Amino acid sequence: MLRDSYNRKISDLRISLTDRCNFRCFYCLPNGEPPLARKETILTFEEIERVARIFVSLGIEKIRLTGGEPLIRRDVPGLVEKLSALKPALSDIALTTNGFDLPRHAAALKSSGLDRVTISLDSLDPKNFADITGVDALGKVLDAIASARELRFDPIKINAVVIRGRNDHEVVDLARFARDNNISMRFIEFMPLDSGHEWDRSLVVSGREIREKIGAAFPLALIEATRGSETSWKYRFADGSPGEIGIIAPVTEMFCGQCSRIRLTADGQIRTCLFSTDEHDLRSVVRSGSSDGEVEEFIRSVVMTKEPRHYINDNSFQPASRTMSFIGG
C-alpha cells in the first residue's frame, strides 16, 4: 500500500492524457495557451499502461483519466481496455470530460470497461454556457449527459465550478436539473489554477453559500459519513427526490488531511498536489530503461514528498507550477 509521510493512503491516480482542450473555460484555460507538451514528450498509451500497472501493484485502486480534454486523444477506449486488464486490483476507472466528444465514444468506452464518467456543465443557459466555456456547445453537453444515461453509467456525475457574477445565479437551476434527471451534481469552489490568473478571492463562492442557496429552494439532508477520503460533502434532497448534491470546497473547507490523490501529467511528470511547485520526472525514469522495481522505488520516494496541504489561504501562497489544464483536474 502507498502511504505518504503524513500516513495518508494514496489510492487514487489521476492521469492527464493531454494538456490540449477544445474549450476555453474562463476558470481554466481562457487564453488557449500553447500546449506545453510536444508529441515526443507525451506519454504513449503503452507507457501509460506500464506505469499504471506499476502504480496498481503499489496500491492504487482508482484511476481517473482527465486533461485538458482527454477525448481529444485518439483511441481512449483502447487505453481503457488496457487498463481494464488491471481489474480487480484496480477497482474503478473513471473519465472526466467536457462532454463535447462523448456521444461519439460513449459506447466504445463503456464496452472497454470504463466504470464512471464525470461531465462538466457550468450553466444551463446557452449564452452563459458559451460565455464561460468559449464554445456554443450546451446542446452537445446535454447530448453527452443523455448518452451517458442511455449507456447506464451510474451514477452520472456533473461538475460545475461556481464563480461569482458568472454562474452563481444558476446554482438552484443546476440543483433542479440534478433532481429532474437523477444526477449527482457537484459544485466546486473556484481555485487559483486558471491560466489567465484572474482568480481572486472575491470570485470564490463558498461551499457554504452554495449549500444555503440550494437548501433554501430544496431542503437538503447530509448523507452521513460520506466525507472519508471523499472530497465532497454529499447531500440528498430531503423530500426524497432523486439526485444528489455534492459540495467541493477546497478553498474554504480544506480537505487535504484526507487527500488520497496523486497525479501524472500528459508529459509524464508526477505531481503530488494540485498546488505543487515542482514535479517528478517519471518519463525520464521510464524512458531510461529502468526496471519495474526501479520505477516502483521512484514512485515510492516521490509519494513520500507529498505536501501536507495547500496554502491558498496563507500570505505565503506560491502559485502552482502549472495551471489546471496542464495538471489534470
Q: Give me the least distance between CB of 250 and ligand SF4, in Å please.
A: 6
| Residue 188 near which of ligand SAM, ligand SF4, none (CB within 5-8 Å, type-dependent) | ligand SAM
Neighbouring C-beta atoms of residue 283, cutoff 10 Å = 21
Q: How far apart are CA 60 and CA 6, in angstroms?
A: 17
Write each residue from 48 to 67 as x if it is in contact with ligand SAM (CB under 6 A), else as -, in one continuous string: ------------------xx
| Residue 66 near which of ligand SAM, ligand SF4, none (CB within 5-8 Å, type-dependent) | ligand SAM
Write each residue from 138 to 177 as x if it is in contact with ligand SF4 (CB under 6 A), else as -, in one continuous string: ----------------------------------------
Q: Give me the least distance between CB of 144 and ligand SAM, in Å please.
A: 10
> Does the footprint of ligand SAM cover residue 191 (CB under 6 A)?
yes
Alpha carbon of 233 to those of 27, 102, 116, 167, 315: distances in Å?
Answer: 22, 27, 19, 21, 27
> Does the footprint of ligand SF4 cover residue 25 (CB under 6 A)?
yes
82 contact partners, CB below 8 Å, separation of at least 6: 45, 49
Number of residues that bind ligand SAM (CB under 6 A): 20
Interface with ligand SAM in residues 68-87 (CB under 6 A): 69
Asked whether the beta carbons of 120 and 96 are under 8 A apart, the reply is: yes
> Does the footprint of ligand SAM cover residue 129 (CB under 6 A)?
no
| Residue 255 near which of ligand SF4, ligand SAM, none (CB within 5-8 Å, type-dependent) | ligand SF4
Q: Which is nearer to ligand SF4, 220 or 232 (CB)?
A: 232
119 beta partners: 97, 158
Look up residue 84 and give its DSSP letter.
Answer: H
- Chain-centroid distance of CA 56 in Å reads 19
| Residue 191 near which of ligand SF4, ligand SAM, none (CB within 5-8 Å, type-dependent) | ligand SAM
Q: How far apart are CA 154 and CA 117, in angstroms?
A: 8
> Does the footprint of ligand SF4 cover residue 325 (CB under 6 A)?
yes
Q: Which is nearer to ligand SF4, 205 or 259 (CB)?
A: 259
Q: How far apart are CA 25 and CA 325, in angstroms?
A: 10
Per the structure block, which three cell numbers stand in for 260? 488520497
DSSP assignment string, 180-246: HHT-EEEEEE--S--TT----GGGBPPHHHHHHHHHHHS-EEE-TT--TT-SSEEEEETT--S-EEE
Q: Which is nearer to ligand SF4, 30 or 243 (CB)?
A: 30
Q: Using CB under 6 A as the criterion, which residues of the chain lie in contact with ligand SF4 when the complex forms?
A: 21, 23-25, 28-29, 67-69, 98, 120, 255-256, 259, 261, 273-275, 307, 309-310, 324-325
